[in-house]
Structure 1
Amino acid sequence: MTAPARVPAVLVFAGLDPSGGAGLAADVLAIAAQGAHALPVATALTVQDNNRVHAVAPVDTACVLGQAQALLDTCDVRAVKIGIPGNRANALAIAGLLGRLRERQPGVPVVLDPVLASGHGDPLGEGDPLEAMAALLAVATIALPNEPEARAIAGLPVAQLLVTGGHGDGRFVTNCWYAGGRLVHRWRRPRLAGAFHGSGCTLAAALAARLALGEGMFEALSAAQAYCHATLAQSFAIAPGQRIPRRFIHPST
């Protein structure tokens, strides 16, 4: 028998959501569904369900760096996905680590989900989330803010943005891709009824996986959005309130 082909790895920095709807649990499933493998590094432990975040405990910065460095010393990381850092110290440490990674892999893509608060406005870390996010925006290849997040980070340096329109109104959701401050492309899909837990995690993780597989940015963005929409269309309930995207489905473009 021939040895199986090596699966591209995505280094993931995110929090642990015990509801399984967002954070590391969401990232692992979304990345696996694309055909890549997640290397999950925990940045924070959270107390939450599918609707609200009740408490967040950042992981010690040395532990975050230790988790990541052990993987970087062994694995061939093809892309990075970042969710909540937990605090500014973790954000700065992650940014520094990625700077060193790029010294040996200049083109490794970094996908940032710039989460500033939960969908209900609950804090997702200690300190000012915008200060923590600024360091990560500086090293991101692309950030995927929703419209309120995009307004909050306006003026901070980032090479590319996909501004998602799920928080808006109307029959359709429009996502806009900007590069160098210029609108490059728009995608429009029918707005689905209901509220969803972890849709941003799903989209960002899927994009990182598609980039790890070697796709170009336009192709990867198109495939990740199609996959995310399908997970929401097939979502399920675990309790009243926000639904859980059905992530382990075959990606479709």
Structure 2
Amino acid sequence: MTAVRVLAIAGSDSSGGAGIQADIKTITMLGGYAMTAITALTAQNTKAVHGVEPVGPEMVAAQIDACLDDIGVDAVKIGMLGSPDIAGIVAARLARLDVPVVFDPVMVASSGGTLADPATIAAFEPLMRLATLTTPNVAELEALGGHAGMAARGVAYLAKGGDAAGQMIVDELVCPDGRRLPFEGSRIVTTSTHGTGCTLSSAIAVGLGRGLPLPEAIDRARAFVRSALRAAPGFGKGAGPLGHAQART
């Protein structure tokens, strides 16, 4: 089977648990071919984000162009963007494509560090309209105006419930026409949650790149994340990384 070509546009996580590093691991483990456009360098670990340095927008665009002009792409995953200018240039590049796009609107790291300021969040608008699916967690959904705000945009989104209270986790796919499809699972009790959102969105992108229907791509991606949570190596003193390499695919 030909490998699905997935371009991950996101920030680098020096500790290897989230961001571009989690994207590459996920795409590779699921049989895809990972390409990257790095939007920011971060100095972070499982406990905190110690520094963020955005890449210049022109360099982000050059990375995207280099991948598309040579290798091509079957799906795109967007994560941390770093600045409004980067968000704008990414939107301009993706508007030329006709492939599935999964947008994880990263605002805060699992360790608590802020990864998007209000101006960058405001620049998410065109990306949400371009995306096949946007994947906000509880706090991100609230920052984007809640269900009412997303409905007004007329976009498909997966409202992730991992940060909500309760023994059951419910992720809900909401379609532009208002249809809702819940995905439920018992909570896996662990502190190794660093990179769950990155992993989920990349896994969905792989599925969509293979031509899977959106609900099936989500279902398979959730199963991969749950397996990686159970296989977590226990590294770090805070929110530890997942066990991508040991996850069942």
Distance 1:207 1:18, change over 3 A: same
Greater CA drift, 203-212 or 146-155 = 146-155
Q: Show the counterpart of 1:24.
A: 20
Distance in 2, Cα, partners of 1:52 & 1:181: 39
Q: Show the counterpart of 1:150.
A: 141
Alignment of 1:1-253 (within 5 A): 6-101=2-97, 105=98, 108-125=99-116, 128-154=119-145, 155=149, 157=153, 159-180=155-176, 182-195=178-191, 196-249=193-246, 251-252=248-249
The one-letter code sitting in structure 2 at the alignment partner of 1:25 is Q
**Maintained 8 Å contact 1:51/1:197:** no
**Maintained 8 Å contact 2:60/2:86:** yes
**Maintained 8 Å contact 2:101/2:131:** yes
What residue ranges of structure 1 are gaps of 5+ in the alignment?
none
CA RMSD between the two structures: 1.6
Distance 1:181 1:122, change over 3 A: farther
**Maintained 8 Å contact 2:77/2:205:** yes
Runs ≥4 residues deviating over 4 A: none
The one-letter code sitting in structure 2 at the alignment partner of 1:124 is L
Distance 1:248 1:120, change over 3 A: closer
Deviations 1:47-85 (A, max 9, x none): 111121121111001100001101110113000000011
Distance in 1, Cα, partners of 2:18 & 2:111: 14
Distance in 1, Cα, partners of 2:202 & 2:96: 22
> Matched residues, percent identical?
33
Deviations 1:121-149 (A, max 9, x none): 42214663311322321211101111111
How far is the alpha carbon of 1:203 from its aligned partner?
0.2
Greater CA drift, 178-187 or 199-208 = 178-187
**Maintained 8 Å contact 1:33/1:251:** no
Greater CA drift, 38-47 or 180-189 = 180-189
Q: TM-score, normalised by structure 2?
A: 0.92
**Maintained 8 Å contact 2:110/2:195:** no
Distance in 2, Cα, partners of 1:31 & 1:52: 25
Deviations 1:203-223 (A, max 9, x none): 000000111122111111110
**Maintained 8 Å contact 1:161/1:179:** yes
What residue ranges of structure 2 are gaps of 5+ in the alignment?
none
